[in-house]
Structure 1
Amino acid sequence: MVMQNHKTVEDTYASRETMNSVVSSSQMKSVMLSKTPVRYFLKAMMSGFLLSIVAVFMLAIKTQHNGINEGTINLLGAIAFSLALVLIVLTHSELLTSNFMYMTAGAYYKSVPIGKIVWLFTVCFIGNIVGGFVLFGLLKFTSVMTPEMVTALTKIVDKKTTLGTWDGILVKAIFANFFINIGIYVSIQFKEGLSKAFFIACGVVVFVFMGYEHVVYNANLFSGMMFYNLDALSWIDVLKNIVWAFVGNYIGGGIFVGLLYAFFNGKRNHYIDEQK
Protein backbone atom coordinates (compact mmCIF):
# COMPACT_ATOMS: atom_id res chain seq x y z
CA MET A 1 0.00 0.00 0.00
CA VAL A 2 1.31 3.43 -0.96
CA MET A 3 0.79 6.49 1.22
CA GLN A 4 -1.62 8.99 -0.32
CA ASN A 5 -0.07 12.15 -1.75
CA HIS A 6 -1.97 15.26 -0.66
CA LYS A 7 0.58 17.71 -1.96
CA THR A 8 -0.55 20.38 -4.42
CA VAL A 9 1.30 22.27 -7.14
CA GLU A 10 1.59 25.23 -4.75
CA ASP A 11 3.61 23.03 -2.39
CA THR A 12 6.31 22.75 -5.07
CA TYR A 13 6.95 26.51 -4.94
CA ALA A 14 9.93 25.97 -2.66
CA SER A 15 11.08 29.59 -2.48
CA ARG A 16 7.76 31.44 -2.84
CA GLU A 17 8.56 33.71 0.12
CA THR A 18 11.85 34.70 -1.49
CA MET A 19 10.11 35.45 -4.78
CA ASN A 20 7.51 37.53 -2.93
CA SER A 21 10.39 39.65 -1.63
CA VAL A 22 11.93 39.95 -5.12
CA VAL A 23 8.63 41.06 -6.69
CA SER A 24 7.99 43.52 -3.85
CA SER A 25 11.46 44.99 -4.35
CA SER A 26 10.84 45.38 -8.09
CA GLN A 27 7.74 47.45 -7.36
CA MET A 28 9.51 49.56 -4.75
CA LYS A 29 12.33 50.30 -7.20
CA SER A 30 9.78 51.35 -9.81
CA VAL A 31 8.03 53.68 -7.37
CA MET A 32 11.33 55.20 -6.23
CA LEU A 33 12.38 55.94 -9.80
CA SER A 34 9.00 57.49 -10.63
CA LYS A 35 8.44 59.50 -7.45
CA THR A 36 11.98 60.36 -6.33
CA PRO A 37 14.23 60.05 -9.42
CA VAL A 38 17.06 62.12 -7.89
CA ARG A 39 17.21 59.83 -4.88
CA TYR A 40 17.19 56.78 -7.14
CA PHE A 41 20.01 58.20 -9.26
CA LEU A 42 22.09 58.98 -6.17
CA LYS A 43 21.63 55.41 -4.92
CA ALA A 44 22.80 54.16 -8.32
CA MET A 45 25.82 56.48 -8.06
CA MET A 46 26.58 55.06 -4.62
CA SER A 47 26.76 51.56 -6.10
CA GLY A 48 29.25 52.71 -8.73
CA PHE A 49 31.26 54.57 -6.10
CA LEU A 50 31.41 51.54 -3.78
CA LEU A 51 32.27 49.20 -6.63
CA SER A 52 35.09 51.44 -7.79
CA ILE A 53 36.61 52.15 -4.40
CA VAL A 54 36.75 48.42 -3.62
CA ALA A 55 38.21 47.75 -7.10
CA VAL A 56 41.03 50.13 -6.18
CA PHE A 57 41.42 48.27 -2.88
CA MET A 58 41.74 45.00 -4.85
CA LEU A 59 44.38 46.54 -7.12
CA ALA A 60 46.34 47.66 -4.06
CA ILE A 61 46.25 44.16 -2.58
CA LYS A 62 47.43 42.56 -5.81
CA THR A 63 50.30 44.98 -6.41
CA GLN A 64 51.50 45.07 -2.81
CA HIS A 65 51.60 41.27 -2.63
CA ASN A 66 53.42 40.90 -5.93
CA GLY A 67 55.86 38.01 -5.80
CA ILE A 68 53.74 35.44 -3.99
CA ASN A 69 51.82 32.68 -5.75
CA GLU A 70 49.58 34.11 -8.48
CA GLY A 71 46.59 31.96 -7.48
CA THR A 72 46.87 33.16 -3.89
CA ILE A 73 46.98 36.79 -5.03
CA ASN A 74 43.91 36.30 -7.22
CA LEU A 75 42.01 34.63 -4.38
CA LEU A 76 42.90 37.46 -1.99
CA GLY A 77 41.74 39.98 -4.57
CA ALA A 78 38.48 38.11 -5.16
CA ILE A 79 37.73 37.94 -1.44
CA ALA A 80 38.52 41.62 -1.08
CA PHE A 81 36.29 42.58 -4.00
CA SER A 82 33.35 40.62 -2.57
CA LEU A 83 33.12 43.41 0.01
CA ALA A 84 31.77 45.68 -2.75
CA LEU A 85 28.56 43.73 -3.40
CA VAL A 86 28.03 43.10 0.31
CA LEU A 87 28.13 46.84 0.95
CA ILE A 88 25.94 47.60 -2.07
CA VAL A 89 23.22 45.11 -1.14
CA LEU A 90 23.19 45.79 2.59
CA THR A 91 23.03 49.58 2.06
CA HIS A 92 20.19 49.11 -0.46
CA SER A 93 22.12 50.90 -3.20
CA GLU A 94 21.07 50.38 -6.83
CA LEU A 95 23.25 48.15 -9.02
CA LEU A 96 22.30 47.41 -12.63
CA THR A 97 23.29 43.76 -12.61
CA SER A 98 21.23 42.82 -9.54
CA ASN A 99 18.29 44.77 -10.97
CA PHE A 100 18.39 42.42 -13.96
CA MET A 101 17.11 39.69 -11.62
CA TYR A 102 14.60 41.81 -9.70
CA MET A 103 13.01 43.52 -12.67
CA THR A 104 12.85 40.42 -14.91
CA ALA A 105 10.98 38.59 -12.16
CA GLY A 106 8.74 41.65 -11.88
CA ALA A 107 8.11 41.54 -15.63
CA TYR A 108 7.23 37.84 -15.47
CA TYR A 109 4.64 38.46 -12.75
CA LYS A 110 3.40 41.63 -14.49
CA SER A 111 4.18 43.77 -11.45
CA VAL A 112 6.18 46.36 -13.43
CA PRO A 113 5.61 47.45 -17.08
CA ILE A 114 8.37 46.71 -19.59
CA GLY A 115 8.85 50.38 -20.51
CA LYS A 116 9.51 51.29 -16.87
CA ILE A 117 12.00 48.43 -16.57
CA VAL A 118 14.00 49.60 -19.60
CA TRP A 119 14.05 53.15 -18.23
CA LEU A 120 15.18 51.89 -14.81
CA PHE A 121 18.03 49.91 -16.39
CA THR A 122 19.13 53.02 -18.30
CA VAL A 123 19.08 55.38 -15.32
CA CYS A 124 20.73 52.81 -13.04
CA PHE A 125 23.57 52.11 -15.48
CA ILE A 126 24.28 55.80 -16.02
CA GLY A 127 24.25 56.35 -12.25
CA ASN A 128 26.64 53.42 -11.69
CA ILE A 129 29.09 54.88 -14.25
CA VAL A 130 28.86 58.40 -12.83
CA GLY A 131 29.64 57.00 -9.37
CA GLY A 132 32.82 55.46 -10.75
CA PHE A 133 33.77 58.73 -12.44
CA VAL A 134 33.35 60.58 -9.14
CA LEU A 135 35.55 58.10 -7.31
CA PHE A 136 38.40 58.16 -9.81
CA GLY A 137 38.09 61.92 -10.21
CA LEU A 138 38.60 62.35 -6.48
CA LEU A 139 41.49 59.89 -6.47
CA LYS A 140 43.37 62.08 -8.94
CA PHE A 141 43.93 64.53 -6.08
CA THR A 142 45.71 61.80 -4.11
CA SER A 143 48.64 59.42 -4.54
CA VAL A 144 46.54 56.32 -3.83
CA MET A 145 46.89 55.00 -7.39
CA THR A 146 50.57 54.08 -7.56
CA PRO A 147 52.38 53.47 -10.88
CA GLU A 148 52.20 49.74 -10.17
CA MET A 149 48.43 49.95 -9.71
CA VAL A 150 48.03 51.91 -12.95
CA THR A 151 50.06 49.24 -14.76
CA ALA A 152 47.90 46.49 -13.26
CA LEU A 153 44.73 48.39 -14.22
CA THR A 154 46.00 48.78 -17.80
CA LYS A 155 46.74 45.04 -18.08
CA ILE A 156 43.26 44.14 -16.81
CA VAL A 157 41.56 46.55 -19.21
CA ASP A 158 43.67 45.39 -22.14
CA LYS A 159 42.67 41.79 -21.43
CA LYS A 160 38.99 42.76 -21.34
CA THR A 161 39.06 44.88 -24.52
CA THR A 162 41.69 44.31 -27.20
CA LEU A 163 42.36 40.70 -26.20
CA GLY A 164 38.72 39.78 -25.61
CA THR A 165 36.42 38.27 -28.26
CA TRP A 166 32.71 39.07 -28.34
CA ASP A 167 31.65 35.48 -27.72
CA GLY A 168 34.14 35.03 -24.90
CA ILE A 169 32.91 38.24 -23.26
CA LEU A 170 29.28 37.17 -23.68
CA VAL A 171 29.71 33.75 -22.07
CA LYS A 172 31.89 35.03 -19.23
CA ALA A 173 29.33 37.77 -18.57
CA ILE A 174 26.57 35.15 -18.32
CA PHE A 175 28.62 33.26 -15.73
CA ALA A 176 29.45 36.42 -13.77
CA ASN A 177 25.91 37.60 -13.22
CA PHE A 178 24.55 34.11 -12.72
CA PHE A 179 26.82 33.65 -9.71
CA ILE A 180 26.17 37.16 -8.40
CA ASN A 181 22.39 36.86 -8.52
CA ILE A 182 22.29 33.30 -7.22
CA GLY A 183 24.19 34.61 -4.20
CA ILE A 184 21.75 37.49 -3.76
CA TYR A 185 18.73 35.21 -4.22
CA VAL A 186 19.97 32.82 -1.53
CA SER A 187 20.86 35.71 0.80
CA ILE A 188 17.26 36.99 0.69
CA GLN A 189 16.23 33.81 2.53
CA PHE A 190 18.22 34.90 5.60
CA LYS A 191 17.45 37.67 8.07
CA GLU A 192 20.78 37.74 9.91
CA GLY A 193 23.38 40.11 8.45
CA LEU A 194 26.41 37.79 8.52
CA SER A 195 24.52 35.02 6.71
CA LYS A 196 23.39 37.47 4.04
CA ALA A 197 26.92 38.81 3.62
CA PHE A 198 28.39 35.31 3.32
CA PHE A 199 26.15 34.18 0.47
CA ILE A 200 26.40 37.52 -1.35
CA ALA A 201 30.18 37.29 -1.14
CA CYS A 202 30.30 33.68 -2.39
CA GLY A 203 29.04 34.56 -5.86
CA VAL A 204 31.40 37.50 -6.18
CA VAL A 205 34.46 35.52 -5.16
CA VAL A 206 33.74 32.97 -7.90
CA PHE A 207 33.20 35.55 -10.64
CA VAL A 208 36.26 37.65 -9.78
CA PHE A 209 38.63 34.72 -9.26
CA MET A 210 37.58 33.16 -12.57
CA GLY A 211 37.92 36.44 -14.47
CA TYR A 212 34.32 36.65 -15.63
CA GLU A 213 32.84 39.83 -17.11
CA HIS A 214 30.71 42.32 -15.12
CA VAL A 215 29.49 45.30 -17.15
CA VAL A 216 29.44 47.85 -14.31
CA TYR A 217 32.80 46.77 -12.93
CA ASN A 218 34.26 46.93 -16.45
CA ALA A 219 32.73 50.33 -17.20
CA ASN A 220 34.20 51.73 -14.01
CA LEU A 221 37.63 50.30 -14.83
CA PHE A 222 37.35 52.14 -18.15
CA SER A 223 36.50 55.29 -16.16
CA GLY A 224 39.70 54.82 -14.19
CA MET A 225 41.67 54.48 -17.40
CA MET A 226 40.25 57.79 -18.62
CA PHE A 227 41.87 59.48 -15.63
CA TYR A 228 45.12 57.52 -15.49
CA ASN A 229 45.98 56.09 -18.93
CA LEU A 230 43.56 57.45 -21.52
CA ASP A 231 45.88 56.83 -24.49
CA ALA A 232 45.84 53.07 -23.83
CA LEU A 233 42.07 52.80 -24.35
CA SER A 234 40.72 51.36 -27.59
CA TRP A 235 37.23 52.82 -27.80
CA ILE A 236 35.90 50.30 -30.31
CA ASP A 237 37.03 47.49 -28.03
CA VAL A 238 35.58 49.28 -24.99
CA LEU A 239 32.21 49.47 -26.75
CA LYS A 240 32.49 45.78 -27.72
CA ASN A 241 33.08 44.82 -24.11
CA ILE A 242 30.26 46.94 -22.70
CA VAL A 243 27.68 45.75 -25.24
CA TRP A 244 28.40 42.03 -24.91
CA ALA A 245 28.98 42.16 -21.15
CA PHE A 246 25.63 43.95 -20.80
CA VAL A 247 23.84 41.30 -22.87
CA GLY A 248 25.58 38.44 -21.09
CA ASN A 249 24.94 39.87 -17.64
CA TYR A 250 21.26 40.23 -18.48
CA ILE A 251 21.06 36.62 -19.63
CA GLY A 252 22.92 35.35 -16.55
CA GLY A 253 21.04 37.39 -13.96
CA GLY A 254 17.76 38.21 -15.67
CA ILE A 255 17.00 34.99 -17.55
CA PHE A 256 18.96 32.25 -15.75
CA VAL A 257 18.02 33.52 -12.26
CA GLY A 258 15.20 36.09 -12.32
CA LEU A 259 13.00 34.49 -14.98
CA LEU A 260 13.72 30.86 -14.10
CA TYR A 261 13.10 31.25 -10.37
CA ALA A 262 9.98 33.30 -11.05
CA PHE A 263 8.74 30.40 -13.23
CA PHE A 264 9.70 27.91 -10.52
CA ASN A 265 7.51 29.71 -7.98
CA GLY A 266 4.13 30.32 -9.57
CA LYS A 267 2.00 31.29 -12.53
CA ARG A 268 2.37 34.67 -14.22
CA ASN A 269 -1.01 35.96 -13.00
CA HIS A 270 -0.47 34.83 -9.40
CA TYR A 271 -0.20 38.31 -7.88
CA ILE A 272 -2.90 39.78 -10.14
CA ASP A 273 -5.31 37.00 -9.12
CA GLU A 274 -4.54 37.66 -5.44
CA GLN A 275 -5.66 41.29 -5.86
CA LYS A 276 -9.05 40.33 -7.32
Structure 2
Amino acid sequence: MVDNTKTIDDTYTSKATVESINSQVQMKAVMFNQTPGRYALKAIMSGFLLAIVTVFMLAIKTQFTGTNEGLVNLMGAISFSLALVLIVLTNSELLTSNFMYLTVGWYYKVITMNKVLAICLYCFLFNIIGGFILFALMKFTPIMSPEMLSSLTKMVDGKTIDSTWYAILVKAIFCNFFINIGIYVSIQFKDGLSKAFFIACGVVVFVFMGYEHVVFNAGLYAGMVFYDIDAVAWLHVLKNIVFAFIGNFIGGGIFVGLVYAYLNGKRDSLSN
Protein backbone atom coordinates (compact mmCIF):
# COMPACT_ATOMS: atom_id res chain seq x y z
CA MET A 1 0.00 0.00 0.00
CA VAL A 2 1.36 3.43 -0.99
CA ASP A 3 1.42 5.97 1.81
CA ASN A 4 -0.97 8.87 1.37
CA THR A 5 1.11 12.01 1.92
CA LYS A 6 -1.56 14.43 0.82
CA THR A 7 -2.82 17.11 3.21
CA ILE A 8 -6.01 19.14 3.41
CA ASP A 9 -4.19 21.98 1.64
CA ASP A 10 -3.73 19.70 -1.37
CA THR A 11 -7.52 19.48 -1.74
CA TYR A 12 -7.75 23.22 -2.35
CA THR A 13 -7.57 22.67 -6.10
CA SER A 14 -8.52 26.18 -7.18
CA LYS A 15 -7.00 28.14 -4.30
CA ALA A 16 -5.19 30.45 -6.72
CA THR A 17 -8.55 31.45 -8.19
CA VAL A 18 -9.91 32.32 -4.76
CA GLU A 19 -6.77 34.31 -3.98
CA SER A 20 -7.23 36.24 -7.22
CA ILE A 21 -10.85 36.96 -6.26
CA ASN A 22 -9.81 38.21 -2.81
CA SER A 23 -7.28 40.52 -4.42
CA GLN A 24 -10.02 41.90 -6.67
CA VAL A 25 -12.31 42.39 -3.67
CA GLN A 26 -9.64 44.43 -1.90
CA MET A 27 -9.26 46.65 -4.98
CA LYS A 28 -13.03 47.09 -5.22
CA ALA A 29 -13.16 48.15 -1.57
CA VAL A 30 -10.33 50.66 -2.04
CA MET A 31 -11.99 52.18 -5.09
CA PHE A 32 -15.40 52.33 -3.39
CA ASN A 33 -13.94 53.97 -0.27
CA GLN A 34 -11.44 56.36 -1.83
CA THR A 35 -12.67 57.09 -5.37
CA PRO A 36 -16.43 56.38 -5.41
CA GLY A 37 -16.83 58.45 -8.57
CA ARG A 38 -14.50 56.15 -10.50
CA TYR A 39 -16.32 53.12 -9.12
CA ALA A 40 -19.66 54.63 -10.19
CA LEU A 41 -18.32 55.23 -13.71
CA LYS A 42 -17.24 51.59 -14.01
CA ALA A 43 -20.71 50.50 -12.85
CA ILE A 44 -22.36 52.85 -15.34
CA MET A 45 -20.27 51.31 -18.12
CA SER A 46 -21.55 47.84 -17.20
CA GLY A 47 -25.17 48.96 -17.36
CA PHE A 48 -24.52 50.79 -20.62
CA LEU A 49 -22.89 47.72 -22.20
CA LEU A 50 -25.72 45.43 -21.10
CA ALA A 51 -28.33 47.79 -22.52
CA ILE A 52 -26.63 48.40 -25.86
CA VAL A 53 -26.09 44.67 -26.42
CA THR A 54 -29.72 44.07 -25.42
CA VAL A 55 -30.72 46.32 -28.31
CA PHE A 56 -28.41 44.29 -30.56
CA MET A 57 -30.12 41.08 -29.41
CA LEU A 58 -33.58 42.54 -30.05
CA ALA A 59 -32.49 43.54 -33.56
CA ILE A 60 -31.30 40.01 -34.29
CA LYS A 61 -34.50 38.43 -32.98
CA THR A 62 -36.79 40.73 -34.96
CA GLN A 63 -34.81 40.80 -38.21
CA PHE A 64 -34.71 37.01 -38.32
CA THR A 65 -38.45 36.62 -37.74
CA GLY A 66 -39.73 33.66 -39.73
CA THR A 67 -36.59 31.64 -39.14
CA ASN A 68 -36.69 28.63 -36.81
CA GLU A 69 -37.58 30.10 -33.41
CA GLY A 70 -35.07 27.98 -31.47
CA LEU A 71 -32.26 28.98 -33.82
CA VAL A 72 -33.16 32.66 -33.48
CA ASN A 73 -33.18 32.37 -29.68
CA LEU A 74 -29.77 30.70 -29.79
CA MET A 75 -28.41 33.47 -32.03
CA GLY A 76 -29.80 36.05 -29.60
CA ALA A 77 -28.19 34.28 -26.64
CA ILE A 78 -24.82 34.08 -28.36
CA SER A 79 -25.00 37.75 -29.34
CA PHE A 80 -25.86 38.80 -25.79
CA SER A 81 -22.88 36.93 -24.37
CA LEU A 82 -20.76 39.69 -25.90
CA ALA A 83 -22.00 42.03 -23.16
CA LEU A 84 -20.59 40.09 -20.23
CA VAL A 85 -17.35 39.32 -22.07
CA LEU A 86 -16.81 43.05 -22.60
CA ILE A 87 -17.78 43.87 -19.00
CA VAL A 88 -15.39 41.34 -17.46
CA LEU A 89 -12.47 41.99 -19.79
CA THR A 90 -12.73 45.77 -19.30
CA ASN A 91 -12.93 45.30 -15.50
CA SER A 92 -16.23 47.13 -15.32
CA GLU A 93 -18.42 46.72 -12.24
CA LEU A 94 -21.54 44.53 -12.51
CA LEU A 95 -23.79 43.69 -9.57
CA THR A 96 -24.31 40.03 -10.43
CA SER A 97 -20.61 39.15 -10.66
CA ASN A 98 -19.97 41.18 -7.51
CA PHE A 99 -22.31 38.82 -5.66
CA MET A 100 -19.73 36.07 -6.14
CA TYR A 101 -16.62 38.20 -5.62
CA LEU A 102 -17.83 39.95 -2.48
CA THR A 103 -19.20 36.78 -0.89
CA VAL A 104 -15.79 35.12 -1.30
CA GLY A 105 -14.20 38.22 0.23
CA TRP A 106 -16.66 38.14 3.14
CA TYR A 107 -15.92 34.46 3.79
CA TYR A 108 -12.20 35.17 4.07
CA LYS A 109 -12.84 38.32 6.16
CA VAL A 110 -11.40 40.58 3.47
CA ILE A 111 -14.56 42.72 3.64
CA THR A 112 -17.42 43.14 6.11
CA MET A 113 -21.03 42.28 5.34
CA ASN A 114 -22.05 45.93 5.76
CA LYS A 115 -19.50 46.90 3.12
CA VAL A 116 -20.72 44.08 0.85
CA LEU A 117 -24.28 45.42 1.03
CA ALA A 118 -23.14 49.01 0.47
CA ILE A 119 -21.06 48.14 -2.59
CA CYS A 120 -23.81 45.95 -4.08
CA LEU A 121 -26.51 48.62 -3.74
CA TYR A 122 -24.19 51.35 -5.03
CA CYS A 123 -23.15 49.20 -7.98
CA PHE A 124 -26.77 48.31 -8.80
CA LEU A 125 -27.84 51.97 -8.75
CA PHE A 126 -25.20 52.97 -11.27
CA ASN A 127 -25.76 49.84 -13.40
CA ILE A 128 -29.36 51.07 -13.77
CA ILE A 129 -28.19 54.59 -14.59
CA GLY A 130 -26.02 53.13 -17.37
CA GLY A 131 -29.12 51.60 -18.95
CA PHE A 132 -31.02 54.88 -18.67
CA ILE A 133 -28.17 56.76 -20.37
CA LEU A 134 -28.18 54.31 -23.29
CA PHE A 135 -31.91 54.55 -23.92
CA ALA A 136 -31.93 58.33 -23.40
CA LEU A 137 -29.35 58.65 -26.18
CA MET A 138 -31.26 56.22 -28.38
CA LYS A 139 -34.75 57.67 -27.87
CA PHE A 140 -34.60 60.22 -30.69
CA THR A 141 -33.02 57.89 -33.24
CA PRO A 142 -34.69 55.31 -35.52
CA ILE A 143 -32.61 52.45 -34.04
CA MET A 144 -35.51 50.89 -32.11
CA SER A 145 -37.90 49.73 -34.82
CA PRO A 146 -41.62 49.07 -34.10
CA GLU A 147 -40.87 45.34 -34.21
CA MET A 148 -38.10 45.73 -31.64
CA LEU A 149 -40.38 47.77 -29.37
CA SER A 150 -43.04 45.09 -29.64
CA SER A 151 -40.48 42.43 -28.73
CA LEU A 152 -39.28 44.53 -25.80
CA THR A 153 -42.82 44.95 -24.47
CA LYS A 154 -43.53 41.23 -24.81
CA MET A 155 -40.31 40.38 -22.98
CA VAL A 156 -41.12 42.79 -20.14
CA ASP A 157 -44.66 41.44 -19.76
CA GLY A 158 -43.29 37.90 -19.60
CA LYS A 159 -40.88 38.85 -16.81
CA THR A 160 -43.36 40.87 -14.77
CA ILE A 161 -47.10 40.28 -15.24
CA ASP A 162 -46.83 36.69 -16.45
CA SER A 163 -44.30 35.47 -13.83
CA THR A 164 -44.84 34.44 -10.23
CA TRP A 165 -42.38 35.48 -7.52
CA TYR A 166 -41.24 31.89 -7.09
CA ALA A 167 -40.57 31.41 -10.81
CA ILE A 168 -38.56 34.65 -10.85
CA LEU A 169 -36.58 33.58 -7.78
CA VAL A 170 -35.66 30.14 -9.13
CA LYS A 171 -34.81 31.41 -12.60
CA ALA A 172 -32.64 34.13 -11.03
CA ILE A 173 -30.76 31.50 -9.03
CA PHE A 174 -30.08 29.48 -12.19
CA CYS A 175 -29.10 32.61 -14.11
CA ASN A 176 -26.37 33.80 -11.78
CA PHE A 177 -25.18 30.29 -11.04
CA PHE A 178 -24.31 29.79 -14.71
CA ILE A 179 -22.85 33.29 -15.12
CA ASN A 180 -20.56 33.03 -12.11
CA ILE A 181 -19.49 29.45 -12.79
CA GLY A 182 -18.32 30.74 -16.17
CA ILE A 183 -16.50 33.68 -14.58
CA TYR A 184 -14.94 31.46 -11.90
CA VAL A 185 -13.55 29.11 -14.54
CA SER A 186 -12.39 32.02 -16.71
CA ILE A 187 -10.24 33.40 -13.87
CA GLN A 188 -8.09 30.27 -14.12
CA PHE A 189 -6.95 31.28 -17.63
CA LYS A 190 -4.54 34.02 -18.62
CA ASP A 191 -5.36 34.51 -22.30
CA GLY A 192 -8.34 36.61 -23.30
CA LEU A 193 -9.82 34.10 -25.76
CA SER A 194 -10.15 31.36 -23.15
CA LYS A 195 -11.61 33.81 -20.66
CA ALA A 196 -14.13 35.06 -23.22
CA PHE A 197 -15.20 31.52 -24.14
CA PHE A 198 -16.02 30.41 -20.60
CA ILE A 199 -17.70 33.71 -19.70
CA ALA A 200 -19.85 33.43 -22.82
CA CYS A 201 -20.86 29.83 -22.06
CA GLY A 202 -22.68 30.79 -18.87
CA VAL A 203 -24.41 33.75 -20.51
CA VAL A 204 -25.64 31.73 -23.50
CA VAL A 205 -27.34 29.27 -21.13
CA PHE A 206 -29.09 31.94 -19.08
CA VAL A 207 -30.35 33.94 -22.07
CA PHE A 208 -31.47 30.94 -24.12
CA MET A 209 -33.36 29.49 -21.14
CA GLY A 210 -34.98 32.84 -20.27
CA TYR A 211 -33.54 33.03 -16.77
CA GLU A 212 -33.72 36.22 -14.69
CA HIS A 213 -30.79 38.66 -14.50
CA VAL A 214 -31.67 41.65 -12.33
CA VAL A 215 -29.45 44.19 -14.13
CA PHE A 216 -30.50 43.00 -17.58
CA ASN A 217 -34.13 43.26 -16.48
CA ALA A 218 -33.58 46.76 -15.08
CA GLY A 219 -32.21 47.78 -18.47
CA LEU A 220 -35.38 46.49 -20.14
CA TYR A 221 -37.49 48.58 -17.76
CA ALA A 222 -35.33 51.61 -18.50
CA GLY A 223 -36.13 51.11 -22.17
CA MET A 224 -39.84 50.95 -21.41
CA VAL A 225 -39.64 54.24 -19.48
CA PHE A 226 -38.50 55.97 -22.66
CA TYR A 227 -40.62 54.11 -25.20
CA ASP A 228 -43.88 52.95 -23.57
CA ILE A 229 -44.05 53.83 -19.90
CA ASP A 230 -47.85 53.43 -19.75
CA ALA A 231 -47.53 49.74 -20.61
CA VAL A 232 -45.45 48.98 -17.52
CA ALA A 233 -47.07 47.35 -14.47
CA TRP A 234 -44.79 48.84 -11.83
CA LEU A 235 -45.85 46.62 -8.92
CA HIS A 236 -44.97 43.61 -11.04
CA VAL A 237 -41.68 45.29 -11.97
CA LEU A 238 -40.91 45.70 -8.26
CA LYS A 239 -41.75 42.03 -7.72
CA ASN A 240 -39.32 41.06 -10.46
CA ILE A 241 -36.52 43.31 -9.22
CA VAL A 242 -36.79 42.13 -5.61
CA PHE A 243 -36.89 38.40 -6.29
CA ALA A 244 -34.41 38.52 -9.18
CA PHE A 245 -32.00 40.39 -6.87
CA ILE A 246 -32.40 37.79 -4.12
CA GLY A 247 -32.18 34.87 -6.55
CA ASN A 248 -29.10 36.27 -8.28
CA PHE A 249 -27.40 36.62 -4.90
CA ILE A 250 -28.24 33.03 -3.98
CA GLY A 251 -27.09 31.68 -7.35
CA GLY A 252 -23.86 33.66 -7.61
CA GLY A 253 -23.04 34.52 -4.03
CA ILE A 254 -23.98 31.32 -2.22
CA PHE A 255 -24.08 28.52 -4.82
CA VAL A 256 -20.80 29.64 -6.42
CA GLY A 257 -18.96 32.16 -4.23
CA LEU A 258 -19.57 30.67 -0.80
CA VAL A 259 -19.26 27.06 -1.99
CA TYR A 260 -15.90 27.53 -3.71
CA ALA A 261 -14.60 29.77 -0.92
CA TYR A 262 -15.32 26.95 1.53
CA LEU A 263 -13.80 24.33 -0.77
CA ASN A 264 -10.53 26.24 -1.08
CA GLY A 265 -9.58 27.31 2.42
CA LYS A 266 -10.57 27.91 6.03
CA ARG A 267 -12.30 31.15 6.85
CA ASP A 268 -9.54 32.41 9.16
CA SER A 269 -6.69 31.33 6.87
CA LEU A 270 -5.87 34.85 5.65
CA SER A 271 -5.79 36.36 9.11
CA ASN A 272 -3.40 33.80 10.57
The TM-score bracket by the shorter chain reads over 0.9
Give the whole-Å Cα distance in 1 for the aligned partners of 2:69 and 2:79.
15
Give the whole-Å Cα distance in 2 for the aligned partners of 1:174 and 1:79.
20
Corresponding residue pairs, total? 272
Give the whole-Å Cα distance in 1 for the aligned partners of 2:231 and 2:69.
25
- Could you say which residue in structure 1 is the equivalent of 2:224? 225
- Could you say which residue in structure 1 is the equivalent of 2:252? 253
* Cα deviation code 1:44-96 (max 9, x no counterpart): 00000000000000000000000000000000000000000000000000000
Name the aligned partner's letter for residue 76 of structure 1: M
- Could you say which residue in structure 2 is the equivalent of 1:41? 40
- Could you say which residue in structure 1 is the equivalent of 2:186? 187
Q: 3-state SS of the aligned residue for 1:270?
A: coil
Greater than 6 Å deviation, 4+ residue runs: none
1:116 Cα deviation after fit: 1.1
Q: 3-state SS of the aligned residue for 1:14?
A: coil
- Could you say which residue in structure 1 is the equivalent of 2:102? 103
Q: 3-state SS of the aligned residue for 2:111?
A: coil
Give the whole-Å Cα distance in 1 for the aligned partners of 2:157 and 2:139.
21
- Could you say which residue in structure 2 is the equivalent of 1:18? 17
Q: 3-state SS of the aligned residue for 1:74?
A: helix
Give the whole-Å Cα distance in 1 for the aligned partners of 2:126 and 2:271.
32
Correspondence list, 1:206-245, <5 A: 206-245=205-244
- Could you say which residue in structure 2 is the equivalent of 1:29? 28
Give the whole-Å Cα distance in 2 for the aligned partners of 1:240 and 1:224.
18
Name the aligned partner's letter for residue 243 of structure 1: V
- Could you say which residue in structure 2 is the equivalent of 1:66? 65
Name the aligned partner's letter for residue 163 of structure 1: D
Give the whole-Å Cα distance in 2 for the aligned partners of 1:17 and 1:47.
26
Alignment partner of 1:122 is 2:117: no
Give the whole-Å Cα distance in 2 for the aligned partners of 1:183 and 1:26.
18
Gaps of 5+ in 1: none
* Cα deviation code 1:122-164 (max 9, x no counterpart): 1100000000000000001211000000000000000000000
1:114 Cα deviation after fit: 1.3
Give the whole-Å Cα distance in 2 for the aligned partners of 1:5 and 1:160.
53
- Could you say which residue in structure 2 is the equivalent of 1:50? 49
Identity of aligned residues (%): 67
Correspondence list, 1:121-140, <5 A: 121-140=120-139
* Cα deviation code 1:209-248 (max 9, x no counterpart): 0000000000110000000111110000000000000000
Give the whole-Å Cα distance in 1 for the aligned partners of 2:89 and 2:67.
33
Q: 3-state SS of the aligned residue for 2:270?
A: helix
Give the whole-Å Cα distance in 1 for the aligned partners of 2:39 and 2:219.
19
Gaps of 5+ in 2: none
- The normalised TM-score by structure 1 is 0.98
- Could you say which residue in structure 2 is the equivalent of 1:270? 269
